[in-house]
A and B are shown apart, each in its own frame.
Chain A
Amino acid sequence: MKRPTPAVWAALTAVLVGAACITLSPYFHWVTSWPAGATLPVTSWIGTGLTAAFELLKPLARTISTLLSYPMMFANTVLVNSPYSLTIGILTALGWYLGGIRLTLLVVSGLGFVLFSGYWIASMNTLALVFVSVPFALLVGFAVGLLANEFKSINRVVETTLDVMQTVPTFAYLTPLLLLFGFGPVVGLIASIIYAAPPMARNVMLGLQRVEPEIKEAAIMNGATRVQQLFLIEVPSAVRQIMVGVNQTIMAALSMVIIAAVIGGFNDIGWEVLLTMRKAAFGQSLVAGLVIVIFAILADRMSGALAQSEVRYSWRIALAVVLVSVALATVERSLLPGPDSYSAFKGLAAAADSYLNAFTAANGLVLDAVKNGAMFFVLLPLKIGLGQAVLPFTWGFMWTKWMSAAVYAVFGVVAVVMALRGSAVLGLSLLIVSGVMIVGIANLPWPFMLVSLGALGWVAGGPKLAAFAVTMIMAILLMGLWEPALLSLYLCTAAVSVCVVLGGLIGLVSSVSPATWSVVRPVCDFFQTIPLFVFLIPVLMFFQIGEFSAFLAICAYAIVPMVRYTYHGLTSTPEELLEAAVASGASDWQVMREVRIPYSLPTILLGLNQTVLYAFSMLVIAALIGTTDLGQQIYLALGQGDVGLGVAAGAAMAILALVADRLVQAFAMKQRQALGL
């Protein structure tokens, strides 16, 4: 018989440890719940440490805060007090100049909607924050990217920091910032700078790194000094990638400004959404949400046109548009209504509300059935296991120990059979899955988690990765955040599984049917431009506050990368390989199964990786509508100003995301190497 591979050993170890945990758990309580005595008071340490540090930093922070408040107040005053016809005129002219008639129409109709919705002032407050935060974020990101490119010694540090910053949930920034800078819009501004700078830094690094070596050498051989090389040759050569960074930074800044609205105290559009959502005035909150979506789309398309196209349209027409708007602006005060007095969609919103009420009343049974069905038969078993979730009340019978034993026996036999037929890993994995289904993710014993994640890390990336995974998970245990972390893991696993199956399927269908892709693609684009926040509105409308709504919102947001990467992976198979397969007599389905899917596996795994990260970032936002996991802890900490809990829970969330990220990346890397890519 063949010698077992490391994967087999890993799976076997996990099975054995899992079995041991299940047998021991009735006798030793500590197997399932980490003993409270072994928890380090990390949360309070962080709290005290940071509070003390903040006391020292406060004068500096307050100075920064004051300094930043000037440009912010300036931008705010200008945007809020300018006649709206002037603002719309200038943005329209810009739209024309960058993108011609299509973008012009988009800008006019979008801003027209904003004006008539009655959210003009609130939008301008939001926009003022974006206008101030974007230049700072670009500057910081550019400088960091440039330095990291220049000094290879800090390159790794910067990369790691950017990785971590990408995984730390957005709300987690806010608590320390609140303590440091005090309540007010400046916190939103700073949070948005911190959040929006990394994409710029990343793209600057990537762009400079990708400049052809010969171009760099040509600059050297022409006698350019380092500074000349950098600014005359390398940066201009990398301008495309850098502009992609500009686009991403603008989107991130907008997204964060809106998220920062949860701290309140500032009449902006994010706050309007939150307020109307809390009042359950969904029609109105949908209008406000649409205003956000409009800004996101406009920002994306305008900066996208700036980045991707070199075609510019006649500046004379742009000037004419501006002049007309100036003329309009001069008479605006006397002839046109003020920006506050529009409320074209009030009636519509109210109608939508009553229609929605009628709809939910009429279809309440169906909606409830969907929700309860998903909760009782899928989510709950996943969360607390079949052992606890199967009750006479819902399933019609009681789960017994014998049933567990029967399931284990069946899967054990399956595992043995599969092992004999050569796929031991798959068999053992199925056995593990059966165990998880019976015990439930929220009840998984910590020794099992440590061992199996370590084993997974070992198989994917060797001892270093295994050690990384184990120490990271240990940190969560020591912080005493194990239970909420498992709840996060459960919600994330549920959503990611759905995304993988559904998103993979959509990607697969799109890859063979261009017609499908032509529909799916704009939907994906649209979903990726919408700020996270807005996803909550529609799910709340139909399913109220609760875990199921959170689950749906996460799925809706996190499915996009899965679809995209699956599609791109499947469609980027080299033509030659396909021709070789067809020439060998493969049918369409055989080409798909034998060539396209294996070849695209690394790309699909990267999609999975993105989906996991997206799910984690939405998890925190979903805390707003009722979850019980780490996200909720972060949100609570924000409300109570508990910086220790906020940072610790944020770190725990980041750890989960990082471990998942590293594991999937390592598998993708392994797969790529196996294919010789």
Chain B
Amino acid sequence: MLQQLPPPAISCKGVWQVYGANPEQGLKQALSDAGGSADEAARLLRQRGLVPAVQDVTFDVLEGEVFVIMGLSGSGKSTLIRTISRLVQGTAGSILISGEDILTASKQRLIELRRNKLGMVFQHFGLFPHMTVCENVGFPLKMQGADKTSRRKRALEVLELVGLSGREDAYPRELSGGQRQRVGIARALAVNPDLWFLDEPYSALDPLIRRQLQDEFLRIQAGLQKTSVFITHDITEALKLADRIAIMRDGKIVQIGTPDEIIVNPVDDYVREFSRDVPKGRYSHVSSMMSLPDRLPNMPDDPKIGAEMTVDDALASCMALYQPVPVWGADGKMAGIVHPSQLASALQSERPA
């Protein structure tokens, strides 16, 4: 299935982040000793007392895409997002943001980029305790040099977007956790950035508030269509929000794929373990299981299954059938066929293969 891809918003190639004494030198040495093998180099680095927090990471994030990086704590996902936003200086590799290498950008250029193109939301909110909500949200505009009235005007706009109108003159300490993170989100959106980094933005919140904010994220994202890099350790959050997911383990990316691919075709036990307790029918779609054979079998029933339906929904309408059924695309044409038993067995991918 070939289609014209938009140019990547972020392009990471062979990114390494090594901690310890003299990491650049150490990495170079380890890579040459390992004959170019990243895994071997990482092993050597560890042996020599260095910490390879991010190892040879390569991926692209497309324009307008929600790209979720998922992994357990210590897997290097937070380090990776900090390397991409250059809060920490990467050890090796290249990171292009709209074609511009951010690892070699000058200090001045970085400040410009951050003032105009990048936004970031933090796990523990990172709100400035001595500023009101409005001043917090207006801070990036202040850095751009906007005057006070226009800052306030824009801040109120964004606060309305995140549903926090009326609390603009409160201080962060007077807000609940969910409200604080809304301020954090509003602040990241204030300058209308092209690119949005979210570092476990909902991990510190209650499950209920978390779900509410996830829905809001989807709503905002549907309206603004920003390129987002979203970090989480919660698989259901990743499946719910992501266009594509990258799964990290011990500093490496082990799989990149759509939620369906992650659930239906996990590359290894580690990834499978993640999706084990996930209600798969709710996150995988018919499109990931259908096929389009040259010769169509006999299909007596047509329960009107759509390619974009979740497996749960599709099964609900064809559970009782024993014959393959047609799958209809959004354009009204037949997109493929699927056997109901295929859908049912996808729900139990825990069987030994």
Q: Using CB atoms and an 8 Å cutoff, list the residues of chain A in contact with chain B.
A: 212, 214-215, 217-225, 228, 232-233, 236-237, 239
Contacts and interface: CB of A to CB of B under 8 A. Distances in A.
Contact of B114 (A212, A222, A236, A237): A222
Interface in B18-62: none
Contact of A214 (B118, B126, B139, B143): B126
B127 interface: yes
Contact of A222 (B87, B115, B125, B197): B115
Given A221-B118, A223-B140, A223-B144, A214 B123 contact: yes
A223 B87 contact: no
Q: Point out which of A212, A218, A223, A232 has the most chain B C-beta atoms below 10 A from its C-beta.
A: A223
B32 to A, nearest CB: 31
A631 B128 CA distance: 49
Question: What interface size band does chain B fall in?
Answer: 20 to 34
Q: Point out which of A215, A218, A228, A239 has the most chain B C-beta atoms below 10 A from its C-beta.
A: A218
Given A222-B114, A223-B112, A215 B127 contact: yes
A239 B126 CA distance: 17
4 closest residue pairs by CB, A with B: A223-B115, A214-B126, A218-B126, A223-B114
Contacts of B112: 223
B129 A222 contact: no
Determine the main DSSP class of A at the interface with B: helix
B266 interface: no
A222 B124 CA distance: 16
Contacts of A236: 128, 130
Contact of B143 (A212, A222, A237): A222
Contacts of A215: 126-129
Nearest to B197: A221
B283 interface: no
Contact of B126 (A217, A225, A232): A217
24 contacts: A212-B124, A212-B126, A214-B122, A214-B126, A215-B127, A215-B129, A217-B120, A218-B120, A218-B122, A218-B184, A218-B187, A221-B118, A222-B114, A222-B143, A222-B187, A223-B111, A223-B114, A223-B115, A223-B144, A236-B128, A237-B128, A237-B129, A237-B130, A239-B130
Given A212-B126, A215-B127, A221-B85, 4 more contacts: A222-B139, A223-B140, A224-B111, A237-B128
A215 B87 CA distance: 12
B122 A223 contact: no
Interface in B289-318: none
Interface in B87-123: 87, 111-116, 118-120, 122-123
A217 B111 CA distance: 13
B127 to A, nearest CB: 7
B143 A228 contact: yes
Contacts of A232: 139
Nearest to B88: A217
A223 B188 CA distance: 11
A635 B49 CA distance: 53
A145 B311 CA distance: 61
Given A214-B124, A217-B87, A217-B122, A222 B130 contact: no
Nearest to A234: B128
A239 B139 CA distance: 19
A224 B87 contact: no
Nearest to B113: A223
Nearest to A233: B128
Interface string B70-91: 0000000000001001010000
A444 B114 CA distance: 66
Contacts of B129: 215, 237
A239 B130 CA distance: 9
A536 to B, nearest CB: 44
A273 B128 CA distance: 49
